[in-house]
Structure 1
Amino acid sequence: MNRRHDIDALRVLAFGLLILYHAAMLYVAGWDFHLKSSHTAEWLQYPMLFLNRWRMELLFLVSGLAVNFMRRRGSLGRLAGKRSLRLLLPLIFGMLVAIPIQPYVQGLSNHLVEPGFGRFLLRYWTGGPWPAGAFTGWQFGFTWNHLWYLPYLWVYTMLLLALLPLLESRHGQRLRTACLTLRGTRLLLLPALPLLLWGSWLMNRYPVTGALWGDWYAHAIYATVFLYGYLLGTDAGIWAELARLRRISLPLALGCFAFYLLGIKTLPEDAALPLVVAVRALHYLYLWSAIVAVLGWGHAYLNRPFRWLPYAREAVYPWYVLHQSLLLLFAWQLMPLGLGPIAEPTLIVLATVGGCAFLHECVIRRVRWLRPLFGLEAAVHTTPVTLPARLVDDLA
């Protein structure tokens, strides 16, 4: 089967956007992050909200799609083992080696950790304890910070694999057929309804934590779109419909976001229940219509073998593991210099991108034993693979 270049490209672009998103977290006023610049701005909340409401859901949907594709190439046991190795090995390595610089600089900025990275690292590896509020995750003694995506994805993958006999049964196939035959308005509206249900039931009870256990609202949303990705698969009919709807889904998403933003900015705390439900419905309709728009436009314009794509496809996982640690390290070094609101973020982003590029190209991809620790296959390829290949399953 031919490679789905649009899915590869969307995954690369989504994780590239993640670097800019996390860099902006240093500067958006009113939003908590590991470090904050003195040059914060409230207007950044609007573009951040625009992305925040669907960016991770898109990644989980693409991850579910990848499981659908990989299912055709082996047994459930082999797939479970391969995915566990691909997700958990970089998670463990990342928590022990790549992540610690993040709580260290956060602890220093909070004046709750003493200088000396070597001493900090030994204490971190042994689980602390730490002063209250020293860094994100201090109460656990260690943290996975931005790598939370990996354990969540592993859990959803294992649950899906356990359910596959049911999903591949006669009744399960009827369910998938019903999903794949959605067209027009039904495709734009119906998948948003379960998301609205989860939001109405769980969002206020279980705020998002990233701690895995007890994060029930996040699990309900992410696992649902992960299942959507599996059901979506690579069916030609549904993807043609997504591409056809792109000129409808995009203005629908923009309109929903505009009215949603108006609602959350103007709705009083004692607003009537119908108004609260309407704003909440706009949230989840925006989430789904934005994903439909991204998939549709991507399928229409990105499903081609770009020359940069094979290299970028390999680079995504190492860059994902590295980027936030490098971002916070460079921010910690550059923010005290008083560089100003333009030079400072520009240099931080350039340094982060340069650091990721250097470590991936000059170290990670060239050292055989390092490659699996960053989610890559152990084999070192010195020339591009030009034969038709499998759908990306490095991190998705």
Structure 2
Amino acid sequence: MIKQRRYDLDWLRVISVFAVFLHHVLMPFNGDNFHIMNNTHSKLLDDIMVYFEQFRLPLLFFISGVGTVFAFSKRNWISFIKERLLRLLIPLVFGILFLIPPQTFFENTSKYKSYFSSYPVLVSKLKVNHLWFIENLLLMSIFFIPFVIFIKSNKSKNFKKWIRIKTDKYGIMFWGIFLIAIRIITKEFFPSDSKSFFNLSTTFYFGFFFFSGILISNVDQLWSLLLNKRKLNFKLTIIFSLLFYAYYFLPSEFIKPYVTLSNRWRLWYLVCTLLSWSTIITILGYSQVLLNKKSKLLIKLNEAVYPFYLLHQTIIIVFGYYIIKFNVSITIKIISLFSVSLLVLLFFYMFLISRIKVLRFLFGMKSRSN
């Protein structure tokens, strides 16, 4: 079990949240159905973004699973639930009441006269938008309490030994078989891409990464295996990346006469899952070598990353609503939206959120005394 701070995971958390920020900056321009959309889009941008979508959020859920073990190590299960409610539920409720309504307003400006007069209607929708991650993290944290208690106890000794033996024999890439089965089977019954916790195809999929974070953080040998097999896992990632794009760009008329639509979707879930899991375990291996370093910058970034996540999409949508109307190229719009959003986020964090006690509380930050 991990007994000290893992700076590589802290760096990965920071990088992952920044990747989410960048993803949402690009969303108005890739042709998908985002809250605000540019009048033209870039197919190349969409082709690139679909690749990173396969492991961007799974990595965050894995790191959150490890973080759950850290949070639990200092508390009993009752105090753990209290801590989760303070750190997750309160920011979630605050976000639904004050961070999401502006997004809904700018998504549907033609329906409302003004933001303030429409606020009761906007807030009554109780949308979570990008805060679905916080909602899922809260519910998963509570749901997995029995397993965390078990894996930390002596009763799990034989189970952990069995996991070590099987993983050492077959490799941690072998775990991907279970992930593939989860993905394909649950999609049969819950085909939606909705991020609702009750859409079990999504919940079970991300839950696997969350569970893996809990399990690996309690078995030191698995961290060593990730480190020692990182070159092999990287080679597998290259292979699965080529397989992913080969299938992604394969013209449908070539395969349509031979494979049913449902089986084509199963093949898609297969290549996506192989890429997702191989990339995650490769990152976890190399990060131990490249990122496991403490720094003053990391301490500051690690404190800022949560409020940054909570606020970022609202800022992007509010300013993006006006920027996409500019009569300039997509590239200029992206650079403008990225720069303006980042500067506004830094301003809110540095001069308001981090300094005002009530805002620190509402954005899930620890008090300065801690």
TM-score by length of 2: 0.91
Please state if 1:148 is matched with 2:139.
no
* Matches for 1:254-333 after TM superposition, within 5 Å: 254-266=238-250, 268-272=255-259, 279-333=268-322
Q: What's the % identity of the aligned pairs? A: 21
Q: In the aligned structure 1, how far is the partner of 2:15 from the partner of 2:71?
A: 22
For the 8 Å contact 2:65–2:212, the answer to whether it is kept is: yes
The amino acid of 2:291's aligned partner reads: L
Q: How does 1:363-382 map to 2 (within 5 A)?
A: 363-379=352-368
Asked if 1:208 is matched to 2:209, the reply is: no
Deviations 1:270-317 (CA, angstroms, capped at 9, x unpaired): 544787755543322211110001111111110011231000001101
Give the corresponding residue for 1:81. 82
SS in 1 for 2:357: coil
8 Å contact from structure 2 (residues 7, 293) kept in 1: yes
SS at match of 1:363: helix
**Distance between the aligned counterparts of 2:218 and 2:342, measured in 1?**
32
User: What is the alpha-carbon distance in structure 2 between the residues aligned to residue 69 and residue 270 of structure 1?
Assistant: 52
1:80 Cα shift? Answer: 1.2
Equivalent in the alignment of 1:117: 115
Q: Which string of whole-angstrom CA distances, capped at 9 and with x for unpartnered residues, describes residues 90-112 of structure 1? A: 0000111111111100012xx3x
Measure the CA separation in 2 of the matches of 1:50 and 1:247: 21
Letter in 2 for 1:211: S
Q: How does 1:120-131 map to 2 (within 5 A)?
A: 120-125=118-123, 127=124
Q: CA deviation at 1:261?
A: 2.3
Tell me the equivalent position of 1:238: 222
Q: Comparing both structures, which one devotes a greater share of its residues to helix?
A: 2
Q: Does 278-287 or 266-275 show the bigger shift?
A: 266-275
Residue in 1 that maps onto 2:5: 3
2:179 partner amino acid? L
Q: Separation in 1 of the partners of 2:296 and 2:338? A: 24
**Cα offset for 1:333?**
1.4
Q: Distance in 2 between matches of 1:205 and 1:105?
A: 34
Q: Aligned equivalents of 2:155 and 2:237: distance in 1?
A: 33
Within 5 Å, give how 1:144-223 maps onto structure 2.
144-168=128-152, 172-181=156-165, 183=167, 186-206=170-190, 207-213=192-198, 215-223=199-207
Residue of structure 1 in register with 2:34 after alignment: 33
Aligned length: 362
Does residue 353 in structure 1 map to residue 342 in structure 2? yes
Match of 1:22 among 7, 24, 28: 24
Counterpart selection for 1:228 from 190, 206, 212: 212
Deviation at 1:56, TM superposition (A): 1.0
Provide closer, same or farther for how the CA distance between residues 188 and 275 of structure 1 changes in structure 2, counting only shifts above 3 A. farther
CA shift at 1:187, angstroms? 2.8
1:21·1:48 contact (CA, 8 Å) conserved in 2? yes
Q: Distance in 2 between matches of 1:184 and 1:282?
A: 24
CA positional deviation for 1:343: 1.5
Q: CA RMSD in A?
A: 2.1
Q: Is the 8 A contact 1:369 1:378 kept in 2?
A: no
In the TM superposition, what is the alpha-carbon distance from 1:170 to its structure 2 partner? 5.5
Q: Which blocks of at least 5 consecutive residues in structure 2 are unaligned?
A: none
SS in 1 for 2:293: coil
The separation in 1 between residues aligned to 2:238 and 2:321, in whole angstroms, is: 36
Q: Specify whether residues 203 and 275 from structure 1 end up closer, same or farther in structure 2 by C-alpha distance, changes over 3 A only.
A: closer
Q: Which runs of 5+ in 1 are unaligned?
A: 128-140, 382-396
TM superposition score normalised by structure 1: 0.85
1:49 matched to 2:50: yes
Residue 180 of structure 1, CA deviation:
3.9
Distance 1:359 1:256 in 2: 41
Query: What is the Cα deviation at residue 4 of structure 1?
Result: 0.9
Would the aligned equivalents of 2:233 and 2:282 in 1 still touch at CA under 8 Å? yes
* Matches of 2:154 and 2:266, distance apart in 1: 37
Could you say which residue in structure 2 is the equivalent of 1:388? Answer: none
Q: CA deviation at 1:71?
A: 2.4
Alpha-carbon distance in 2 for matches of 1:364, 1:275: 47
1:157 and 1:315 mapped to 2: Cα distance? 22
CA distance in 1, matches of 2:13, 2:112: 39
Deviation at 1:334, TM superposition (A): 1.4
